Amino acid sequence: MAAHKGHIKAGGRTKGTLNKSTKDIREAYQMLIERNIPKLEKWLDAISKKSPERAIYILYNLSEYVIPKLNRTDLTSGDKPLNIKLPDIVIK
């Protein structure tokens, strides 16, 4: 039932607290990942033999869970934006 205006909520979970099912699933998933970390290098080696690009893609996607993404930052020199040209990188 929705709380009425001016009514103070009493009891229940505090804001931001996970429910028991969500907490249990996250803990189980974390244990699964931790148990398989030693195998990860072997799996990536096997994948990279057939498709190095795929192995890099997988590693890149996994890194998102370890290294936080940085916010985009615009570089300027005074009141003018910086224009930096990078050479094309070709992987063969």
Q: What is the pLDDT of residue 70?
A: 72
pLDDT tens by residue, 29-75: 888 888 988 898 899 999 999 999 999 998 888 888 777 777 766 66
Q: Who's near 9: CB < 8 A, 6+ residues apart?
A: 3
Dist. CA 79–CA 76, nearest whole Å: 6
Q: What was the pLDDT predicted at 67? A: 77
Q: What is the pLDDT of residues 11-24, one digit of tens each?
A: 776 777 778 888 88
Per-residue pLDDT, 90: 67
Its pTM stands at 0.46
Alpha-carbon distance of 36 to 67, in angstroms, equals: 19
